[in-house]
Amino acid sequence: MTGRFPIEDVTPSVSCGRYPAKAVVGELVPISAVSYREGHHALGVNVVWQGPEGEAEPFTRLTPGEPGLDKWHGAIKPDRVGRWTFTIEAFDDPYQTWRNAVTKKIGAGQGLEDLANDLAEGAELLDLAAKIVPSEEEERVRDAAAALRDPQRSLFSRVSPGLELEELLWQHPVRQLVTTTRSYAIWVDRQRALFSSWYEFFPRSEGAEIGPEATPIRHGTFATAAERIPAVAAMGFDVLYLPPIHPIGKINRKGRNNTLVAREGIDVGSPWAIGSDEGGHDAIHPQLGTLEDFRAFIGKAHEHGLEIAMDLALQCAPDHPWVKEHPEWFTTRADGTIAYAENPPKKYQDIYPLNFDNDPKGLREEVLRVVLHWVSNGVKVFRVDNPHTKTLNFWQWVIAKIKDVDPDVLFLAEAFTRPAMMNGLGKIGFTQSYTYFTWRTTAWEMKEYMGQLKASIDWMRPNFWPNTPDILHESLQHGGPPMFKIRTVLASMLSPSWGMYSGLELFEHVARPGAEEYIDNEKFELKPRDWAAAERAGRSLAPYITKLNTIRRENPALHWLRNLEFHEIDNASLLCWSKRDPESGNTVLVICSFDSANVQWGNTTLDMPALGLEWHERFTVTDQLTGATYEWGQHNPVRIDPYVEPAHVFVVHPRR
């Protein structure tokens, strides 16, 4: 039933309030609602919000938006991790009603005799207000009430003190006939849940040595991989993601380039084929080291400002201990064999998917135990492999259980699947998600896609990756070094979170014939790289990546997604967008080409208010990539040569 005053279309509200919305500490979270009332009396609307321990936060009044639409807007800024709640209240605002009436009547020429009742009613109203306002303002309100009652004063001197209370009584209103909505929830994460830079490498390749045909001579360890940590940190990354570090199955092990039969005693197999007689998901591959070695690796990462993201791949090799101990956790075929993973025409004979319907309680408890084991050893970030192939109620349960133990734990969903499923995973608790960024290769496609992601920011946070071990898009295969720059600019400047798989900085671009993945895929072999030699020879994108991450870190406008705005540019090969931090005023304006082969010209038509400027203003922009400075206005010509720089990343400096 509708309350005294209707309150509708409350945001943020995920699936009509079924799931918590998402935010991070320090984020300005927009709150809005539609509310209206009968007649001409004034209506007020406010949000009541509470912290994780149920403590009330300061009174926050909403302001009306576009006239005639009855939509009210405001923002809250949570400052702690945890589950926050809010309600919307609509109320009769007698002071605003009184003030509006008196102002109109005086404007219509009415005098003291006509306004006698209004003055008396106003004095009674201010008596109520004096009990509500802060103590230091009480005398001022009582004086205004006394002035309204003083027959010796002129009309102007009687009403002026009361009319001047508008701002005070906006913040501390007399509220009558209050109507309240149901409670809505917001889960607030630490800031890294929204703003992060990820780097992926295989520890077994770092410090490895190989012979002809990728024959292993020396296997990388956590100790050798730790030597790569300073370079990753120097590029400005803050999350180091490791593929599975567990024992690799020996039965049905895949060979180089995903061949069906491995060379016995030679091929190292896929880390995603988890488990053998050496252990399962709670064990470490013996050739990488021990649990103590892993802890030391995490410690060194922390010393350099990096968090370790661990792969959570809930699947098993045929010789995983679970297969023998809990066959009920898998799917048995008609012939009595356990079903292996298939994605026709692909077959994964080295992987058994888990079946979450056969023994949901037992499997849930075991996965929870495994994850908490790694959390207790210092892992606070998990990249979850193929979560869309497991039940959503399982994920909702296990993520909530882990958050109860440690609310700082974050989960990235690797789910390149249907939009409904990707959104659903975000709604039930995943912190971030991979996206379709890789396959948006025109300016129009990217603009449309960013609109979709911005609209879903309350439940699904994007993480943009130009490449992964599984994905080498044809744009990188054929676009040359300028395209590598283009994709890193787009990923790092459009999304608050982005990541890359090692090898991108070396312009690795050769695909396995007929596939959208790397030749000699590192998933199936050791792949040591000579990083230092590449940098000395100028064959490394690392300095450019470092510069982009530095720009991201130094400009708070790039830490958010809600503030993304696109601007018109009259060339379909160019994309122009900006981000502005509402608190610091920091503003970044980016123009990026999608053409890695040709010079492109364009003319901008900038949305000046989106830059914090008036339509007529001139301003200075400084290119963070080149250091060049330009004087700009609303309309500006742009020339982009991809062989010089495929993008401008400007910081806007108003003339004030």
The residues annotated as belonging to the active site are 385, 414
Distance, in Å, from the CA atom of 9 to the CA atom of 31, rounded to the nearest integer, reads 11
Bridge partners, residue 588, by sequence: 579, 651
Extract the tokens encoding 24: 């991070």
The side-by-side arrangement of strands in the sheet containing 63-64 is 7-11, 29-35, 71-76, 63-64
Compute the distance between CA of residue 633 and CA of residue 651 in angstroms, rounded to an integer.
Answer: 14
Burial of 656 (0-12, 13-18, 19+ CB in 10 A): exposed
CB atoms within 10 A of CB 79: 11
CB 643, CB 479: distance < 8 Å: no
Q: With CA atoms as reference, report the closest residue to 241 among 510, 463, 520.
A: 463
Q: Which of 217, 287, 303, 220 is nearest to 247 (CA)?
A: 287
Residue 420 and residue 593: Cα distance in Å, rounded? 31
Unique residue bearing structure tokens 């400096």: 653
Strand 432-433 vs strand 410-414: parallel, antiparallel, or unpaired? parallel
**First and final CA of the chain: distance in angstroms?**
53
What the block records as the tokens of 256 is 């180089």
Quote the CA–CA distance of 574 and 641 in Å, as a whole number: 12
Which pairs from 356-361 meet CB under 8 Å and 24+ separation?
356/390, 356/391, 356/394, 357/391, 358/328, 358/329, 358/330, 358/331, 359/326, 359/328, 359/329, 360/391, 360/394
The vertex-437 CA angle with 435 and 443, nearest 5°, equals: 145
Alpha-carbon torsion (552, 556, 557, 558), positive or negative: positive
Q: Are strands 307-312 and 381-385 parallel, antiparallel or unpaired?
A: parallel
The two tokens of residue 67 are: 């006239």
Where b means 16+ CB within 10 Å and e means fewer, 298-325 reads bebbeebebbbbbbbbbbbbbbbbbbee
Distance CA 576, CA 610 (A): 13
H-run or E-run covering 311 = strand 307-312
Q: Which two tokens stand for residue 469?
A: 């071990």
Number of H helices, E strands in the chain: 17, 32
CA dist., res. 1 & res. 505, Å (int):
60
The rounded distance, in Å, linking the Cα atoms of 120 and 357 is 72
In 3D space, the residue among 464, 422, 429, 196 whose CA is nearest the CA of residue 309 turns out to be 196
CA atoms in the 13 A half-sphere facing the CB of 230 = 4
Q: Are 56 and 50 in contact (CB under 8 A)?
A: yes
**Where in 137-183 does DSSP place strands (E)?**
176-180
| Nearest alpha carbon to residue 509 among 548, 530, 481 | 481
**545 Cβ contact list (under 8 Å, min separation 6):** 235, 236, 488, 500, 505
State the Cα–Cα distance between residues 173 and 86, nearest whole angstrom: 19
